[in-house]
Amino acid sequence: MAMSVFIIALSWFGFVSLMFCFTPVQKAFQLLRRPLDAGLGAYLIFVGISHVAAPLIG
């Protein structure tokens, strides 16, 4: 589970760095960046908390 979260985060940052190579796409992507960053951040925090809490809950 932790490895899949790491792969998702790594692919996301690779996607962001690839998008900044293309200037026309960069301007359109800036409009979507904040909601996507917030959504991905919330998802990663949720997965991290559930990954830590799962053994405690049993």
Residue whose pair of structure tokens reads 């960069």 in the numeric block = 26
Nearest to 12 by CA among 42, 37, 30, 32: 37
Whether the per-residue pLDDT at 1 is higher than 70: the answer is no
Whether the per-residue pLDDT at 44 is higher than 70: the answer is yes
DSSP code string of 39-55: HHHHHHHHHHHHHHHHH
Instruction: Name which residue leads in pLDDT, 6 or 48.
Output: 48
Whether the per-residue pLDDT at 32 is higher than 70: the answer is yes
Nearest to 47 by CA among 14, 4, 10, 16: 4
Measured in degrees and rounded to the nearest 5, phi and psi for residue 13 equal -70, -30
The model carries a pTM of: 0.41
3-class state of residue 20 by DSSP? coil
